[in-house]
């Protein structure tokens, strides 16, 4: 009998026994390939009360691998119990994304069409009770500005949302800007951590503070390698809209061949200094 066939039979036997892993609440999988990580989840019975799942891969991965794990979570995890999903890969900063078109028109639907290499996170939409959703990998995911209403309606209880890529973007323009950050934070009242790469260069000279009966609870904002042109405008935006902010994470993985700190790094460092007087 082949090893894969034996593993499949063992997984089927475990899933059929509803008492399997009855005490399991937290599962951490560290694997050289996400394909193996997905296979582990096949052992979970439908009523397993797993609450926290973390999957880590010590190398850069192909979108197919990431999608395999997401599909496995969809099929084998219990939507009634799962509260936290965390994905991490260790993407090599010298691994480049697919080439971006020379001329990008933000208003052109053809430029916004879902790429075949984009990971579909909406396969996780049945897990509506999530408090933590972290997907930090070097590739792209199927998420656009138009998806924000769907995002906040699908996961209304999020406290920690981190979709900030860890990979050097190679000059790619983010799909989101400061207005999108506001929309997400305002419509997720429990959110205290947000990780999202956004275009901070679009902040106007004259800014208006968003009206709100209750200040957002956001404590930490992870921006990674977000484009920035004016530190002073970013400082005003953050001070006016996120008065409880305690931390700003500007870290990302830069290729060894790239000279650092760059002007982008210096500008975000100035924002941090102005916000927290460090």
Q: What pLDDT score does 167 carry?
A: 74
Within a domain: residue 91?
Answer: yes
Within a domain: residue 197?
Answer: yes
Within a domain: residue 177?
Answer: yes
Within a domain: residue 109?
Answer: no
- The enclosing domain of 249 has a CATH number of 3.80.10
DSSP the chain: --HHHHHHHHHHHHHH-TTTTTT--EEEEE-SSHHHHHHHHTTS-TT----EEEEEESS---HHHHHHHHHHHHHHS-TTT--EEEEEE---TTSPPSPPPSS--TT-HHHHSPPTTSB-GGGGTT-TT-SEEEEE-SS-BS--GGGHHHHHHH-TT-SEEE----B--TTPPPS-BHHHHHHHHHH-TT--EEE---BGGG--SS--PPP-SS-----EEE-TT---S-HHHHHHHHHHH-TT--EEE---B--TTS-SS-HHHHHHHHHHHHHH--
Domain range holding 14?
A: 3-96+114-276
Within a domain: residue 8?
Answer: yes
Q: How many independent structural domains does the chain possess? A: 1
Within a domain: residue 105?
Answer: no
Query: Rounded to two decimals, what is the model's pTM?
Result: 0.87
Within a domain: residue 101?
Answer: no
Within a domain: residue 104?
Answer: no
Per-position pLDDT tens, the chain of length 278:
344 676 777 878 788 777 889 899 999 998 877 778 888 999 999 989 999 999 988 766 677 888 888 999 999 999 999 999 999 886 554 444 455 555 655 544 444 444 556 889 999 999 999 999 999 887 778 899 999 999 999 999 999 999 998 777 777 889 999 999 999 999 999 999 999 999 999 999 888 766 666 778 999 999 999 999 999 999 999 999 999 999 999 988 777 767 778 899 999 999 999 999 85
Q: What pLDDT score does 12 carry?
A: 81
Q: What pLDDT score does 110 carry?
A: 47
């Amino acid at each position: 009998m082949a090893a894969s066939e034996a593993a499949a039979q063992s997984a089927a036997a475990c899933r059929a026994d509803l008492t399997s892993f009855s005490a399991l609440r937290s599962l951490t999988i560290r694997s050289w390939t996400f394909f193996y990580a997905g296979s582990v989840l096949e052992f979970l019975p439908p009523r397993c009360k797993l609450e926290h799942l973390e999957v880590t891969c010590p190398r850069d991965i192909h979108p197919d691998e990431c999608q395999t794990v997401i599909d496995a979570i969809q099929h084998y995890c219990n939507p009634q119990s799962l509260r936290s999903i965390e994905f991490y890969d260790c993407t090599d900063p010298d691994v480049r994304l697919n080439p971006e078109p020379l001329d990008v028109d933000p208003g052109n639907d053809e430029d916004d069409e879902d790429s075949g290499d984009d990971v579909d996170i909406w396969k996780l939409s049945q897990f509506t009770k999530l408090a933590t959703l972290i997907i930090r990998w070097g590739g792209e995911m199927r998420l656009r500005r138009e998806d924000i209403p769907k995002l906040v309606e699908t996961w209304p209880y999020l406290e920690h949302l981190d979709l900030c890529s860890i990979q050097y973007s190679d000059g790619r323009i983010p799909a989101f800007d400061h207005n999108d950050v506001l929309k997400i934070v305002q419509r997720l009242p429990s959110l205290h951590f947000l990780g999202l790469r956004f275009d901070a260069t679009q902040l106007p000279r004259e800014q208006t503070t968003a009206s709100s009966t209750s200040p957002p609870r956001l404590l930490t904002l992870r921006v990674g390698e977000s484009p920035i042109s004016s530190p002073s405008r970013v400082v005003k935006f953050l001070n006016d809209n996120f008065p409880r902010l305690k931390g700003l994470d500007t870290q990302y993985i830069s290729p060894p061949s790239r000279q650092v700190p760059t002007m982008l790094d210096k500008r975000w460092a100035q924002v941090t200094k102005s916000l927290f007087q460090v």
